[in-house]
Structure formats: structure tokens, C-alpha cells
Amino acid sequence: MIDKRRVVVTGLGLITPLGIGTDKSWNALIEGKSGIGKITQFDASAFPTQIAGEVDGFNPEDFIEPKEIKKMDRFIQFAIAAAQMAVDDSGIKITEANADRVGVIVGAGMGGLRSIEQYHKVLLERGPRRITPFFIPMLIINLASGHISIKFGAKGPNSAAVTACATGTHSIGDAFRLIQRGYADVMIAGGTEAVITPLGIGGFNAMKALSTRNDEPEKASRPFDRDRDGFVMGEGAGVIILESLDSALQRGARIYAEIIGYGMTADAYHITSPSPDGEGAAKCMAATLKDAGVSPEVVDYINAHGTSTKQGDELETAAIKAVFGEHAYKLCVSSTKSMTGHLLGAAGGVEAIVSILSIYKGVVPPTINLDNPDPECDLDYVPHKSRQMTVNYAISNSFGFGGTNACLLFKRFEN
């Protein structure tokens, strides 16, 4: 049997529609603020959906050399910025002595869609010779991890999960396993996304997946509410530093929480719809608890996938009941997508950080806009206002197109 090492979280980096930086985003979440507004990145007046969770005021030059910026799509810029925040927060120093033991797994769900649209237009209007030689590196998803690895000199495992809305969670879970099994001592892990573009919005509109509550942007994302009408797209990045406990203790690092469980399952049902009764999600949460070796009754908080879609919210609620039984009514469940929108491939990274901070700070963020609860959604979703409470164990759920499911379990650190 493999001797599994303990793994802890020592650094956090957040970029969301609520703010640039972990403190700004977290404080806005706790205050129940919405980051949803009218789309400004393109003219959306002809689209059924004209709202999104945009990141305002992001200046890539704050994090990246100006000459490098033109080589990167916005999703890569977000990833580098969030990684820089996480590395700075952790205090980790990557040197020639430890570089081989430091790795990166940062993924995205859709990648450089903005660059594809931009250079398809260049191709049509100006011809193939005007396509930048940086076009391919701008759009492929693993270049987020690649650029981070180059920037920090991390020479250990380097990969990128691409699992739709479960991307950030799979990235962190896979990084956790690499440290746990001794392949690395430190991992930079998370998710990033930036697809508030005509094709991105238009494509999800064609699926009738997005809210069209254009007149009330701040009220459009309303998970578990009877009047929800689809999700709201967001953008940003969430990146964390995972570290072996021995490494963290040796350098006297601040430890936010310990990661103890990771589960992954497939619905094997439909390309976009979740399996009936939430079977895949339930098995994923159960697998996470089994991996951690804890009973369902220890869990205090679940950061739900909670996208504000009719079917998804009901089935996630059913899945939680199936796994937790009567305890489902005793734990807190909230969807921070009610404030950030759905960051797709970045969602799992962002929501892992929310779960970690709920443990570290003893506060559970709310589900806003829960004015008329769906009768099928009858758990404690922490409506409207955050709640101060001791959180010892927190689960973060992510369920993606293609029936891919991922869950993480964090616990309060005790040496």
C-alpha cells in the first residue's frame, strides 16, 4: 500500500467578477454582493442574453511583462495573475534546488475562444499571412500551465485538466494526488476562463442555458430559486498552492486548510444533462468521503455546483440528500455562483478557495436572490446573508458537460 502524505493549502489567488485579489472577492461574497452586469466586452444588443459576470479593471501589465502579453489570450493572463497571487501569498520560493519538486496543473473549460474569434476575422478580412505566429499558443489550454511553469521555473509535473465546469476541481484533485503519492512537494493548481465573447454567449444561448433576465442583472443568478431561468456566465481564475505537510511545516508556512478527499465519477448518461436523481453527483460525493475516510455526518458545509439551472439545482439537492440522509438538513449548502456567475473552467478553482476560506475564517457565504425557494430544493442554502459558524469540514462540488463530476473535501488543519 502507498504511504499517502498529508497535503495542505498554503496560498490562494482569486480573480472574479467581484474583484481582483482574494480579499476583494471574499469580502464581496461575504457581503452578498453581485458581480453581474451588462456585457461591455462586445455589443450584445442582438443576443437573448446581454448580461454576464465580467472582471472589471484587470490590467495584465500588473502581472506580466508587456512584451509577453501579446502572446496570451485573456484566460492565460488571468491564470498567471492568480498564480502570482497564490505564490506570493504562500511565500514559497522556487529555486534550482526545489524546482523539480514543484509542478503546475491549471486548466480551462474552453480556452482561447476570444483569440479564435479575433484571428478568424483576420483570416477572412486580411488573409492567412496576417495571422500572428502566437495564435496557436494563445488558444491551447495547457499554455496556462505552461506559462506559469516558465514564469516561476517550476520543473515538476506540468499538465492541464479540460473537463468543462469540473476543470478547476479536477486540476486541484489531480495535484493533490501527485503530492499525496510523492511525485511532487508543491503544486500550483486551479482553473481559469475568459469566454464572454459573441460565440461563447451565442453558443450557450443556442442551448437555452443562459438567463435572459437582462433588466435585472444582479438578480439573474438565483440558484435553488423557483424563478431561476438559467446560469449567468462569468470569467476569472482561482489558483491555489498545495504543499506536502512536511514541506509547509519545514518552512513555517501559513496553512489555510488540509485537503483530505477527492472523488471523480461519470454520469454516462447525456452530453449536457445530468443523470436522473443526481446519481453521478451522489456517487462522486460518496467517493470523496470514502477517499478521506470520514463519515457524512462530519461535513458542515457544501459549496454547491448550484448553477441556477432548473434541472441541475434540483438534482444536486437530491444527490446531497442521497449521500447525507437526515444530516443533509443539518449542514449548510450555498452557491456562490449567485454572486459570481458561472466561471465554467475556473469555477472549481474559485469555489475551492471559497470552501477553504469558510474553514479558515469561520464564515459561510450566502446564496443571494433566493426569494422563492423551489419546493424541490428544501435544504439550508444560507439565503441572502453570510453566516458565522465553525466549519471543520467543507466539500466543493463541480459537475460538467459530458457527465464529468468532481468533488473535493477540505478540513480544518490540526497538526
In angstroms, what CA-CA distances link 22 with 64, 92, 141, 179, 329?
Answer: 18, 17, 23, 24, 30
Distance CA 8, CA 299 (A): 18
- Choose the catalytic residue: 170, 332, 342, 377: 342
- Choose the catalytic residue: 305, 332, 377, 407: 305
User: Do the Cβ atoms of 204 and 198 come closer than 8 Å?
Assistant: no
End-to-end CA separation in angstroms for the chain: 23
Q: Which of 11, 60, 28 is nearest to 340 (CA)?
A: 28
- Choose the catalytic residue: 147, 165, 170, 407: 165
Reduced to 3 states, what is the DSSP secondary structure of residue 265?
strand
**Is 270 among the residues known to form the active site?**
no
Distance CA 234, CA 16 (A): 8
Distance CA 59, CA 66 (A): 11
**Is 305 among the residues known to form the active site?**
yes
User: Do the Cβ atoms of 168 and 347 come closer than 8 Å?
Assistant: yes
Reduced to 3 states, what is the DSSP secondary structure of residue 195?
coil
Quick one: DSSP state of residue 189? E
User: Do the Cβ atoms of 380 and 331 come closer than 8 Å?
Assistant: yes
Q: Which of 321, 333, 322 is nearest to 223 (CA)?
A: 333
User: Which residues are catalytically annotated?
Assistant: 165, 305, 342
